[in-house]
Structure 1
Amino acid sequence: MSEFYHIVPWFNSDEWQRVYIGITSDADSSKEEALKLLLVWKARCPSLPSGIESTLSLLQVHVQDSKNSHDVANDQLMRLAYSSAVMRFVNHMLDTETAKGTSLYQAAKTLGVPDWIVDLRHDTAHSNILPPLTLLREACSISLKWLQTNYWDNHKQYIQDYVCGQNNVNIPDAYKIQALINFCISLGICTNSKVKIKNLSEIPNLTMRESIINDAKDLLGEHLDLSNLKTVSIASLINILNTHGKKLLKFKDASEIVNEALLGDDGLFLSRELLYFFSATDFKFKNRLYPGYVQCFELLLTFLHTNDLLLNFILALIKLTYSPETSRFKARLASMWLSEILRALKISHNVAQKTKKMAFDKIPKRKDLIQLYEHWYPGSHIKNVLVLDLLKPVPEELQDLKFIQPILSQYNTHLSFFVANLLDLLVPKLNFFAAKRICLIARLIASPDKFPFPPSSTIYTADDVQGEYIDICEQYGRRVVTVVPKIREPPAKFVNFIWNEASDEHDWSTCPIGKVPWQPNDVGVQANIK
C-alpha cells in the first residue's frame, strides 16, 4: 500500500460514521451499538489511537451502568470502573502536554479539560475513598463530549474510502495540503527577522507551537524526533520539509488543491487580518508590500517554486485580479503579490544566467548564492526582498510572449501593478518602446480618472498619449510627485472622436500590442513583438 495511507481498524468510512453517530446519540441503544463496533476495532487492532481508546473505556462503563442503574450491590464496582476509565482518559489525552514538562492542571487548562476531572483522577489514584458515583457519571459524560469535540469531530470530514487499484479515486489529501500550507506559513513566521525563533521550545504562543508540532507529526512524523523540543530547530524542520516535501504532493490535481487552500475564502495568503497585522498603512499608501509580511510567505512560495506549483499559482492570482467576483481588496493584494513573485523570479533567472557556465564542486547553499548575487549586482539589496529557489529556472511559459499575450490583452484594471515585472521575464526581451507602450496602456486603464484631458479627447492606443508631465500634489499630509502622460487629440480620420468600424482586410493577428492596423508601424518594435 502507498506510504500516504494508513491501515485503520474500521472496515470502511460507513462503519466509522456508524460509530460516530452512536457516540453522539442520546439513546443508550445507539451507544451500545457503537460500543460493539469499537470492541471489534479493538480485536482488529489492539493498539488503538488514544482518542478511540479513551472513548472505548468511557463508553463501556457508561453502557454497563445504564443496564444496572437500579442494582445497588454493584455501586462499588461501578465506582471502580468509572474511576479507572476517567483516569485513563486524563492520562491518554493530556499525555502530549505533560510530556513537555507541564503539570496536569496546566495541560488540562490548555486543552480545555475541566480541572475538577483532574482532581477526580488524583482522588482515584491516591485517596482511600473513591469519588461519589454521581460525580463520576458526570465526569464520564463531560469526557465523552470533550472527545467528540476534540477528536471525533476533527476527523469526521477527512474519513473517506480508498480502493486499491483505482487511480482516479478522490483521495482525502485536502487535509494534508492544508496541514502543509499551515506548516510552511508557521515556520515562515518563526523565521521572520523580527521574531527570530530558533527552536520549537522558544515559540511563546502555545496554540501556534501545538499546531506546528501536530502538523510536523502528520507530515514528517517518521523523520522527526519530537521528544525534546529544545533540540528541534526551525532550520532542521525546514530542511526536512524541503527534502521530503515532494512526496506529499504525489497525487492528482495537487496544484488545484493547493490554490484552493491558499486563495479560498479561508486561505491566509490573501487574508486581510494577517496583512493588517504586519503592515496596514503600507498596503494603503504604497505600491510595495511590507518586507516583514512578505518574508512570512517566503518559505511557502519557495516550496511551490521548487515543486513546480508556482506557475499555476501565479495564473490563479492573475485570474483573481480581473475576476468580477473578486473584491477590490483581494484583487489589489493579489496584484501586489504578483509583482513581488515575478520580481523574485527575475532574481532566480539572473542567478541561473550567471551560474550557467560556472563549475561547482557541490551545490552552493542559498546564503552563498545571495552573497554572489550582491557581488554581481551591487546595491540590489536582495536580503530585503522576496527570494525564491535560486537554483530553479523560471517557468518557460512566463518567458514566452505568446503565452502571456492573453494576459496583456485582458481588460484588467490591476494589470499596472505587475505588467512591468511580467514583461521583464520575457526571453528574448521585448523592445523597450513596445514594453513602455504596454505599461502606459495598463496605467491608463487602471486610473483613467487621474489623467486630465479635454472632454473631446479620446484615447485609442498608446500613440494617442505623447510625452509626460510632473504632477505635484499634497496627499495624506505628504508631498506626492506623480508622472502623468499627456493626451493628444485623436487623428483626423476619426469622425466625431468615435471608433470607425474596421474592414475585413486587416490582419489583426499580426498587429503589435498597443497598435491598430492602419497606424504606421515601428519596424523595430513590430519585429520584436511578432
Structure 2
Amino acid sequence: MALFAKRDDIKQVPWFSLTEWHDVYRQIYSNDVIEQTKAYEALLVWKARMPKLPVGVDCTLSILQVCLRDREWTSKIDSGELPMYCENDLSLMYSTTIMRFLNHFCNIGHTKQTSLFQIAKQLKIPEWIVILRHQTAHGYELPSIGVLRIAINILLHWLHDEYWAAEARAVEKCYMEEANILEEEKEETKEVQAFTDLIELWTAVSLYIDAGYKLVSNLPEVQLREILQDLRAYMLSQYSGKTSDNDENEYISIHGKTIKIDKEYNLRAAQTLLLSEISMHLAENKSLITIHKKSDIICNVLLKNEAFLPNSDVVQIFQQKGRKNIDLKKKILPPGMLRFWKDIIFLLHNKKILDVLMFKLLNIVNQEQESKGKRTLATLWISSIVYSFIQLDLTQKISRTMEYKPTKDSTKPAAKSALSQHLKELVHYSHPYLRNVLWLDISSTIPHFLIDINFLSKLLLHVNEFSARLIEPILKFVSPRINVQARKHLSNLLKIYTFQKYNDEDSNNDIDERKIFTVEDFDVSSTRNKVKIYKKERTTKKKTADLLTDQIIRNLHWKPASDTLLSYQWVECPIGLLPWQMDSLKSLEPLKLNPSKHSVSILDSQIIAGIINRKSLKMQSRIKWENVLRKKRRTTRQERKRDKSIADVIMNRALEIAKKTDTM
C-alpha cells in the first residue's frame, strides 16, 4: 500500500479482488451521493472483515461518513426538519475526523517523535489544517462549518493523490512487471517443453525398438513417423559434413561424431539423432535457462517419465523373456531396464548431472507420502549407479597398475576401446556381481560425496526401510575405508533396525507381520454390533440437529435466498467465492475524470462536503515517499503446470504397444 510502513511481505487485505477495490475507488470520487453511499457501505464491509484497515482506507471511511451525514442533514436543517444545534454536532464530527486523520499519519515511517507541523510540511498537508486541529483539540470554540468542509475536501483530495491514485499506479506497474515475467516464463516454458518432448520421444522410440520395430516407416503411430521424418530433414539441412556412399546412405557430423542415416531410416538412427539433439540442448550456452536449471529440468523430466520410475505393469517390459514378475528387493535394477536407459545415464554423467539425479532420487526415497513401489525403484536406481561407480573405481585402479607395470616388448599401447574391453573382462572376472551394472567411461570421475564419510553419516542418522539396500554399496568405497567385518555388522544392524530381516525371508508375503491379531478381529457378531451402534448414533445426532433448527426468521434484515441461489451448485463454488463475485485479476482501467454533476463553488456557504473539483485531481504523488517509508520489495513466482503434449501421448501409446508385445 502507498501509505503502509512495510512492503516486504504478503499482506492480508479486506477487499475480495482488485476489481472490488477499483470499484470503490471509482465510487468515492464520483461526486454522486448514491455512488458514494455504495462506497461507504463497501468500506464498512471491509472494516468488518479486517478492523485494522490500511491508513488511507480508514481515513477515507471517516471522511465519507461525515460528508454523507452532512449532505443528509444540511437540507433538513435549512428546511427546519432538524434543529439548528445539529450543525454543532456536524462540526464536532468534522473536528474528530480531522484529528484522527492527522493522528494516523503522525505514526508512519520516519515521522514518529516529530511535531505535527513538521509532519504536515513533509506530507504536503497545509499548515492551517494542523492549526485547525489544535483549535478543535485545545480551544473553547469549534471552527466554522464552512472552514471544516474546506479542510475535509482538501484531505479527501490529498487521499486521492497519495493513496488511491498512487495505489492504482503501483498495481498497474505490478501488472506490467508481472506481464514481463510471464513473457519470460513463457519463453522458458517453451524451451522446457521442447526439451521434455525430446526425452519422451526418445523414450517412445526406444520402447518401439524393444518391441521389435526396426524401420520408422513401420511404426503404427502416424504422428511419431512424421516427427521423426521432420527431425531427419532438419538434421540433414543444419549440419555440414554430409556425404553419401554407394548405398545412398547419408551421414551427418555433430560435434565431431559421425551419425549414419540409412536409406530406409531405421529406428536406431532416429534414436541416435534424438539423443544428439538432447545433448545439444544441454550444451547450449545462449539459452534462457541456466546450467543449474537445466540439470533440474532434465532430472525432473526423467523422474516424471513413466518408463524411468515405472509401475509394476511397465516394469515387466524390461524383464527377461519368460519372467512375469520382478523381485524389487534385489540390489540393482533389472538388466533390461539399465540397458534401456544407459545412453541417457552416460549423457548425464558426461554433463556432470548424474549427481543431481541421485540427490533427487534420494529425496524420493526419504518422502513417506510416496508409494512404496516408487521409493523402492528410486533406491534401486541409486544403488545401480553407485555400483557402476564401484566398478569404475576398480577399473581405474587396475588401469593405473597396468600403466606402471613394466612390459617385455615395446609395442604401442592398445586402442582405447580395446583397453576398455580388456579392463572390463578383468573386473568382471574378479568381481562377477558387477556384470550387470553400467560400464562408465574409464576416464570419468567419481562424485566426491560418495566417498565422503560425512555423507554416509547423514544417511545413517536418517534411516528408513530402504536405507540398508541404499547404504550397502556406499560402504564399499567410502573414505576412510571400512573393513569387511564392520560393513557386515553395520548392514545387519540396519536391517534389524528397519525390520528388513523378516521381510527378506519371504519376499512374496505382503502381510504386515507386526500386526497382532486377536479373537475380536475375527468375531463377526462384534463387527455387526459396532455397525448397529454407529447407525444408532447417526440417527440420534440427526434428531438432535432437527430439534435445534427451525424455519423461524428472527432477524428481519435477512432475506430468504432466491431460487437461483438455492439451485446453485455450491459444491463447485471455490471457498469464499459467491456466485456474483469475480476472482479474475483483470487490469485496472484508469479513473475517468468526467465533469462533476455538482458545480464546485469557491464560496464557503456553497461548499458541499465530499464534492471536489475532479479537474484538479492528480495521478502522481507529490511526496517523496522513499524518505518517509522504508520499502522492501520481494517478488514471488508460482510454478505453472504444463499441458499434456503430443510427446506424452506418443510415449503412452508406445508403452501400451510395448506391454502388448511383452505379453505375447
What TM-score does the superposition give when structure 2 sets the normalisation length? 0.37
* Larger RCO (CA within 8 A; separation ≥ 6): 2
What TM-score does the superposition give when structure 1 sets the normalisation length? 0.46
